[in-house]
Amino acid sequence: MERSKLILLGAGPGDPDLISVKGVKALKQADVVLYDTLSHPALLDYAPSTAEKIYVGKKAGSCQNSQEKINNLIVQKANEGNCIVRLKGGDPFIFGRGHEELTYARDHDIPVEVIPGISSCTSIGELQTIPLTKRGINESFWVTTGVTRNGGVSEDIELAAKTTATVAILMGMRNLPKITAIFEKHGKAETPAAVIQQGSLPEEKIALGTVETIVHEVDKHGLTNPALILIGDVVKLHPEFKNPNNVEHLMDTFLAKSAL
């Protein structure tokens, strides 16, 4: 029982080379690895050949791997004296239910360690040379889910659409038309937008446009989940963005507004 432990490990945005050194060390000591859909299968090779590797990914409309079942599996494997690595795509505390699993484990007296991962919300745009913040263009960025538990659009998107912040939206492809309608309602039809599918992986795809055109661009390029939605003037900095205003103009506009 001395080895009984849960390690919540962020697998990063997709590319297996983007996992942390500490994360690799954790996998090498695992007795059990519980991995989800968005964690790259190559990461399992770091675990010992004797380690038990269990897929616990969730799929829409399926209760095969409900959160309750995953929580119970963690406790079961810990009670057997195992070091468990819960390998989660991105970062375990950003829309990853990592804290729910931490709380459940601690309630059952299981020690927990957290190893952060590189989140897709910050890295996918960066890998496409789109900064979330740019001096002279914007002063903040928002990260929000694109779908609520009941399938609707988060009220936070309505708030974000009223700002000049870059908005990074995860799990929003199903609601993309509703999301763009919210931004258009707040006068953001011409705001640049990007959708990046399978970011950081060889099969990565990107659609570039504006709030008004991005749904059409997504359909034209055949993009689907998993994908990140980015909305904001910084998207114009992508080298393939068509007919962008130059950076100097954006900075001048920003500074003029700031002076008011």
- The string of pLDDT tens digits covering residues 158-178 is 999 999 999 999 999 999 999
- Split at pLDDT 50, 70, 90, the class of 188 is very high
Within a 10 A sphere around the Cβ of 209, how many other Cβ atoms? 20
Query: Could you say which of 36, 88, 188, 236 is catalytic?
Result: 36
Say yes or no to pLDDT of 59 above 60.
yes
The string of DSSP letters for 168-201 reads EEES-GGGHHHHHHHHHHTT-TTSEEEEEESTTS
Query: Could you say which of 31, 88, 134, 171 is catalytic?
Result: 171
What's the confidence (pLDDT) of residue 260? Answer: 58
What's the confidence (pLDDT) of residue 190? Answer: 97
53 is catalytic: no
31 is catalytic: no
Mean pLDDT of 72-89: 97
236 by Cβ neighbours in 10 Å (0-12 / 13-18 / 19+) ranks as buried
What's the confidence (pLDDT) of residue 248? Answer: 46
Query: Could you say which of 53, 58, 178, 205 is catalytic?
Result: 58
What's the confidence (pLDDT) of residue 119? Answer: 97
Q: Which segment of 60-74, 102-116, 168-182, 216-230 scores lowest on mean pLDDT?
A: 60-74
What's the confidence (pLDDT) of residue 253? Answer: 47
Phi first, then psi: give them for residue 65, nearest 5 degrees. Answer: -120, 65
Say yes or no to pLDDT of 117 above 60.
yes
Mean pLDDT of 116-128: 97
Structure-token pair, residue 206: 């990107």
Residue 70, classed as helix, strand or coil, is: helix
Within a 10 A sphere around the Cβ of 168, how many other Cβ atoms? 23
Say yes or no to pLDDT of 227 above 80.
yes
Say yes or no to pLDDT of 235 above 70.
yes
58 is catalytic: yes
Mean residue pLDDT across the chain: 92
Residue 111, classed as helix, strand or coil, is: coil
What's the confidence (pLDDT) of residue 239? Answer: 96
Mean pLDDT of 178-203: 97
